[in-house]
């Protein structure tokens, strides 16, 4: 296995890094079996474990650590209006671990949350790759309780989830602010996607040799 440190913060660099690190870069030469991983020095151990175990982990915490991706960071101009909207939320809803509405299916959970660096992160959690979930059965209650144990919190319809916030018992003003936050989050994601597409097209145009 080969590795070298990645020192670029450009969107293009991040995209290349993510694509290569999804499965590793396997050599086509017979009997080499070489794999290349790209990342900072402190990321190497996690990336190596992810490759060697094909993304499988014993517990949910390790899985999220290995598979999370940054949707919006402070480097993205689209984050500005979202940050302004979130400042108006009560302090207990501005801490790392805030979960935005999630989609749970029998096979996976799409988790979107505020991380410790105040970036918006995303993780597609595949139950069949996590031992503790497979062993316990992937029920909604089990998944939500495991997230709560890790410090995640957010709005859910019922109050029987440990560490979760009951939407029905939340005051109207907070609900309105949170709806505004969700709207700004949607606009930020859409805006970033459009910007990256335009930048990619502009690059293609510049590189074309007439």
Residue-wise pLDDT for 177-205, tens only, equals: 999 999 999 999 999 999 999 999 988 88
Residue 106 has pLDDT above 50, yes or no: yes
Mean pLDDT of the chain: 77
Residue 110 has φ and ψ, to the nearest 5°, of -100, 105
pLDDT at 92: 86
DSSP 149-192: HTT-EEEESSS-STT-EEGGGS-HHHHHHHHHHHHHHHHHHHHH
Instruction: Please count the other Cβ atoms lying within 10 Å of the Cβ belonging to residue 204.
Output: 9
pTM of the full structure: 0.69
Residue 124 · residue 67 · CB < 8 Å: yes
Please give the Cα distance from 37 to 28 (Å, whole number): 16
Q: Of 74, 49, 73, whose CA–CA distance to 63 is shortest? A: 49
């Amino acid at each position: 296995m080969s590795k070298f440190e990645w020192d670029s913060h450009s969107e293009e660099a991040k995209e290349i890094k993510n694509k290569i690190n999804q499965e590793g870069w396997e050599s086509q030469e017979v009997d080499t079996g070489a794999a290349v991983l790209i990342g900072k020095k402190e990321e190497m151990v996690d990336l190596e474990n992810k490759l060697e175990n094909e993304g499988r982990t014993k517990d949910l915490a390790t899985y999220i650590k290995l598979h999370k991706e940054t949707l919006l960071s402070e480097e993205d101009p689209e984050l500005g209006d979202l940050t302004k909207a979130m400042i108006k939320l009560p302090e207990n809803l501005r801490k790392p671990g805030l979960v935005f509405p999630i989609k749970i299916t029998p096979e996976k959970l799409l988790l979107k949350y505020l991380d410790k660096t105040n970036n918006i992160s995303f993780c597609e959690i595949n139950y069949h790759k996590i031992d503790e979930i497979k062993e316990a059965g992937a029920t909604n209650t089990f998944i939500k309780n495991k997230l709560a144990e890790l410090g995640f919190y957010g709005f859910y319809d019922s109050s029987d989830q440990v560490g979760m916030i009951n939407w029905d018992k939340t005051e109207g003003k907070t609900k309105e602010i949170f709806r505004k936050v969700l709207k700004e989050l949607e606009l930020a994601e859409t805006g970033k996607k459009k910007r990256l597409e335009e930048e990619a097209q502009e690059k293609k145009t510049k590189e074309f040799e007439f």
